[in-house]
Amino acid sequence: MVTQAARRTQVLVLGGGPAGATTAALCAQNGLETILLEREKGPRFHIGESLMPDSYWTLKRLGVLDQMKASRHTVKYSVQFVTETGKESQPFYFFENNPHECAQTWQVVRSEFDSMLVDNAAKHGATVLQATRALDVLTCPNDPTKVIGARAHQQGFGEFDIYADVVVDATGQSSLISNKFNLKVADSLLRNASVWTYYKGASREGGLDEGATLVLALQKKKGWFWYIPLANDIVSVGVVGAMDYLLKGRGDLETIFNEELERCPGAKRRVMAGQRSGGFHTTKDFSYKSSQVAGNGWVLVGDAFGFLDPVYSSGVFLALKSGEFAADAIKGAFDSNDFSTQRLGAWGSKFLTGMDRMKRLVYAFYEGFNFGSFIRKHPEMKRHLIDLLIGDLFKDSVDEIIEPLDAMRAEFRASQAIEMAKEEEMANSI
């Protein structure tokens, strides 16, 4: 039952994560009446703490760079890969391509980072309704594909409707619109899950490497661990693997985590110095996307549109960029009084091209591709590889890496097939 009077706004954003808060702030900056619904009241816990350096430009446009610089978030200059035997690659320092301050970024406490972005949206003029959950979107009686608003529930006040010219779905993996219109498409090659926890006092490097993201391989290439140094001497530690392998018939989360830690000497050595802080968490179905970024009167941003496996920490970056691209498209829609799929989704092709560039690198990682060998064979490609790792995904020049990358991936797959055939032949001869 609706217990409040219906409201009206120009832009309605459902969800106050990085994508929703970015969209709301930039729409409000552009002078559009904007309402942002956030289901939680106050800071909320969320995984996805590692930013990519190219987040800098969206954060600058939002006007929050000074807050980030003054914050307690750990500064991140690089990413480093560790083999299943514990052998460490040289760090990939982001400033090798560009000495500008944009080549550094942060490992963030998401509750603080997300709250900062929501507060910033309010600062720029968006109306923020906290403890308010979007229940469903409202469609036009004469055109069920056209979204005209949403039904919401505000804690302590009950249900109400909000009508809008544009509804932005930023509901994360709830994917309100995508699920309603059956748009979500899973990536069959990246059906992964994760189990993670936090440690206090675990090993940290010094100097420039203190805030580095570590990607540590599991034995027998069953998956990998992330190791992300946060503020207050806390480290986020999580294991990622195929969903069936990691979660099926394995017992509780603590058992799974500890068993996998034994298979990752690089991670085990680092956490031994610390004490676990907090419980265990899990998530699954990492990689998916929707078949379109927008429709008649609606736009999808962040995880509500899609999510790419977290191996290169692209989640928050893609959320911020989708919010930025969507806000620009929404401004164009109001300027032209055109709220069609084509106008609101004008940014989709560019965004998907960048996302696919990153996905190619993700596939290579899970195939067991050796980036060190690739750089030794193609040293001129290191700048493009670093471009991808910092999130510089939307320029065509990085496509120079595709041909040599795909060629070496094919060589690696062929050698793996030969090895598997030899192992099978030996097994059959016993």
Secondary structure class of 273 (helix, strand, coil) = coil
- Tell me: do 332 and 418 sit in the same domain: no
Fill in the DSSP letter of residue 2: B
The amino acid occupying position 225 is: F
- Mean per-residue pLDDT for 243-271? 94
Q: Specify the CATH number for the domain of residue 335.
A: 3.50.50.60
Does residue 163 sit within a domain?
yes
Question: What are the pLDDT digits (tens) for 197-254?
Answer: 999 999 999 899 999 999 999 988 889 999 999 999 999 999 999 999 999 988 999 9
254 & 206 share domain: yes
pLDDT band at 416 (very low <50, low <70, confident <90, very high): confident
**Cβ count near 429 (within 10 Å):** 6
Pair 225, 342 in one domain: no
The more confident residue out of 262 and 372 is 262
Report the mean per-residue pLDDT for the chain. 93
Amino acid 14: pLDDT: 98
Q: Is 259 among the domain residues?
A: yes
Q: 332 and 419 share a domain? A: no
Q: What angle do CA 235, 362, 102 make, to 5 degrees?
A: 60
Domain that holds residue 366: 352-429
In a domain, 90, yes or no: no
Alpha-carbon distance of 138 to 154, in angstroms, equals 17
Contacts of 142 (CB under 8 A, 6+ apart): none
Number of domains in the chain: 3
Residues 280 and 221 in one domain: yes
User: Do 315 and 422 have their domain in common?
Assistant: no
**Would you place residue 3 in the very low, low, confident or very high pLDDT band (cuts 50, 70, 90)?**
low
Percentage of the chain beyond pLDDT 70 is 98
Task: Please give the Cα distance from 285 to 132 (Å, whole number).
Answer: 26
364 and 240 housed in the same domain: no
pLDDT at res. 42:
80
CA-wise closest residue to 312 among 218, 390, 370: 390
Calpha distance 56→119 (Å, rounded): 18
Same domain membership, residue 367 and residue 331: no
Instruction: For residues 123 and 265, state if they share a domain.
Output: no
The per-residue pLDDT for 372 is: 80
- DSSP H helix total and E strand total for the chain: 14, 21
Mean pLDDT, range 370-397, rounded to an integer:
91
The verdict on 364 and 338 lying in the same domain is: no
The string of pLDDT tens digits covering residues 323-364 is 999 999 999 999 999 999 999 999 999 999 999 999 999 999
Instruction: Provide the CATH number for the domain around residue 211.
Output: 3.30.9.100
Q: How far, in Å, are 149, 163, 177, 286, 414 from residue 296 at the CA level?
A: 12, 14, 12, 28, 46
Mean pLDDT of 163-172: 98
pLDDT band at 193 (very low <50, low <70, confident <90, very high): very high
Read off the pTM: 0.94
Which pLDDT belongs to residue 430?
63
